[in-house]
Amino acid sequence: MPIPTSTDPVRELDHRFRLAISEVLGIVPEACDPQIRPSGDPRHGDYQSNAAMALAKANGLKPRDLADRIVAAVDLTGLAEVPEVAGPGFINIRLEMGAIASMLASMDDASLGVVRQNRPHGVTVDLCGVNVAKQMHVGHLRATIIGDCIARVFERLGRRVHRENHLGDWGLPIAMTLVALQEAGANLDTITLADLNAAYRSAQASGNADEKGLAAAIANGCGPHRIAELEAQNHDARAAVAQAKATLLKLQAGDIELVRDWKKIIECTMREVFETAVTLNVVLGPEHSRGESFYRDRLSTVVEDFMESGLASEDDGAIVVKYPDRDRPMLIRKSDGGFLYATTDLAAVRFRVQELDSERVIYVVDARQRDHFKDVFDACRMIGWDRTSDGERAELVHLGFGAVLGPDKRPLKTRSGENVTLASLLAEAVARGESEVCARSTDPDSPTHGLDDTELHAIGRAVGIAAVKYADLSLEVSRDYVFDLDRMVSFQGDTGPYIQYAHARIRSILEKAGVEVPFEIESPALPDVTLTLGEPAERDLALTLLAYPGVVADVARTLEPSRLCAYLQRVAAAFSAFYRECPVLKSEEPTRSSRLRLCDLSRRVLADGLGLLGIESPRRM
């Protein structure tokens, strides 16, 4: 087994230790998790295996004895030195320099070592999820950028990915908005999203009947004026709702004029969504829109199928699904015959698993919808709609994200208490990025000194967007975080601009050395140079780079983009240490070329990783 077959040392060590443990214990390799981890302290080697501690007891052995036997059995030819057993039974592993160099060289192509997942089924990512006639707010930022990142990671792993933007484009709120617009005599050809949003809100308000308030006023013996006033308000509200219901029926029946207006307000909303997607550097276009309306003809079948399977029952005229383990039922048809958000989502799961043939359906939606998705997913599992064409169970996951908070640690609002629109937030971020970049360019030593305004603004935009996206993606998805542009846009610390800067700096080192840096990340600049990794900092950087494929796979498994962010920080830090300790430009050949090749690989891993986060890598900063 002399030549490593993988570019990932952890995979390679896992493989070889598995065989050894299997031989020592006489069990199948699948049952022998060698627990290979990067070592916490380089003095103890590069990696360690903790298997002996985990497996000794069950096999009636002392951990140290088991560790010795594993070490005697393991074949590490061409990969690592003879391991040391330390402490209670840790196995410390140090890779051979030649093995590191050859793995690194084989990673140095378009793949950067990332292994394609060959699976027959696709992956669906439910992202963005805007509502028609409503402006995008900060919640949509998260649903859009986290979803885009997850989709990019699966695409990078060679998977067929369906990005599904499940628009709220159907139902009573839309009908109410259409009525309000008609009454106001609005021109739908020139209307803006802000106007639509205002119509939507006034329609919501006019439809809000305060029945409880009226009952309380009567019970408390409020004056006749107050009661009459409330009665009148409630009467208006009921009338507004009744009118909207009539409009909805007409829309559902395909009334030509209404359908035309409905399409116009969708178009108006989506124009802004697609513009925002461009600003955010997110892959999201009309081909990804499949809104609630798409499922409208499937809803009655959904209810019938649940009734037929005995999983749904009538309850006071309404139809509900009940669960064996909880009291909360899920309403799937109202007593007036109307369907619900949940009914649509049941139809959507079925479609995504069975027609789009996805074995994983990932919902990037606000964590507050947890109960909704639990109910929908459980119902689909009960009825068997989570089975792909070949009968495999698809994994349905709600990747619920936390809230974006203001400096007061409360959900982010404007000064006047309104929701912050995404458009205004991004405009501010871009402005901050631009002023930061322009200010730096005044320094004659800055690589951006002398660039023209257009170039500076393009870099500034990339920096501002990177700041916002990285700050969001670098935390565990479920966590709330405080939106703090000052911190996010800084070129230092755990920020997007810091990683972008690290990338641009390496690029300029390569250019100074006269290396022709290809524009695409895919092309290695120095593919034939022999790598020598004698210095500890070189070795450390090399090992960090070799971890890249494992990190990408890990993000796909855990759905946590923060792991990629943390990794890119480690690459930037390992590169800094390397550059501090190992002269590049002033060193002699062949060291100089070897180091330049390390620079080029570092640059491409950073750019590729940023690309998976949906963050651009400017050439100069």
Binding site for ligand ARG (CB under 6 A): 126, 129, 131, 166, 168, 345, 348, 363, 365
3-state secondary structure 423-437: HHHHHHHHHHHHHHH
Give the whole-angstrom CA distance, residue 100 versus residue 7.
9
Coil vs helix vs strand at 607: helix
Give the whole-angstrom CA distance, residue 320 versus residue 316.
10
The nearer residue to ligand ARG, 373 or 498, going by C-beta atoms, is 373
Shortest reach from residue 360's CB to ligand ARG, in Å:
15
Whole-angstrom CA distances from 302 to 125, 129, 370, 383 are 22, 22, 21, 11
The nearer residue to ligand ARG, 292 or 359, going by C-beta atoms, is 292
Shortest reach from residue 398's CB to ligand ARG, in Å:
9
The nearer residue to ligand ARG, 169 or 616, going by C-beta atoms, is 169
Shortest reach from residue 129's CB to ligand ARG, in Å:
3
Shortest reach from residue 341's CB to ligand ARG, in Å:
7
The nearer residue to ligand ARG, 290 or 597, going by C-beta atoms, is 290
DSSP letter at 353 equals I
593 and 524 Cβ atoms separated by less than 8 Å: no
Shortest reach from residue 295's CB to ligand ARG, in Å:
10
510 and 596 Cβ atoms separated by less than 8 Å: yes
Shortest reach from residue 173's CB to ligand ARG, in Å:
10
3-state secondary structure 171-194: CHHHHHHHHHHHHCCCCCCCCCHH
Lookup: tokens for 464:
């501002």
Shortest reach from residue 364's CB to ligand ARG, in Å:
8
The nearer residue to ligand ARG, 383 or 551, going by C-beta atoms, is 383
Give the whole-angstrom CA distance, residue 250 versus residue 501.
56
DSSP letter at 481 equals E
Shortest reach from residue 490's CB to ligand ARG, in Å:
32
Lookup: tokens for 543:
């090992």
Closest-CA residue to 139 (of 431, 470, 461, 480): 480
The nearer residue to ligand ARG, 126 or 434, going by C-beta atoms, is 126
The nearer residue to ligand ARG, 401 or 567, going by C-beta atoms, is 401
Give the whole-angstrom CA distance, residue 499 versus residue 495.
7
- Identity of residue 355: E
Give the whole-angstrom CA distance, residue 22 versus residue 25.
5
Angle, helices 97-107/536-546, rounded to nearest 10 degrees: 50
Whole-angstrom CA distances from 19 to 45, 48, 63, 68 are 21, 16, 18, 15
Report the residue closest to ligand ARG, judged by CB.
129
The nearer residue to ligand ARG, 285 or 400, going by C-beta atoms, is 400
Shortest reach from residue 399's CB to ligand ARG, in Å:
11
Coil vs helix vs strand at 388: coil
Give the whole-angstrom CA distance, residue 389 versus residue 354.
6
The nearer residue to ligand ARG, 168 or 609, going by C-beta atoms, is 168
CA angle 137, 142, 146 (to 5 degrees): 155
Shortest reach from residue 244's CB to ligand ARG, in Å:
19
The nearer residue to ligand ARG, 287 or 408, going by C-beta atoms, is 287
What burial letters (b/e) apply to 242-251, b meaning 16+ CB within 10 Å?
A: ebbeebbebb
Give the whole-angstrom CA distance, residue 123 versus residue 129.
17
The nearer residue to ligand ARG, 16 or 290, going by C-beta atoms, is 290
The nearer residue to ligand ARG, 23 or 395, going by C-beta atoms, is 395
The nearer residue to ligand ARG, 131 or 593, going by C-beta atoms, is 131
Shortest reach from residue 479's CB to ligand ARG, in Å:
20
The nearer residue to ligand ARG, 161 or 437, going by C-beta atoms, is 161
Shortest reach from residue 171's CB to ligand ARG, in Å:
10
Shortest reach from residue 229's CB to ligand ARG, in Å:
33
Whole-angstrom CA distances from 125 to 128, 293, 370, 379, 399 are 10, 18, 17, 20, 10
DSSP 96-145: -HHHHHHHHHHHTTTTTTPPP---SSEEEEE----BTTS--BHHHHHHHH
- The phi, psi pair for 517, rounded to 5°, reads -90, 115
Shortest reach from residue 143's CB to ligand ARG, in Å:
7
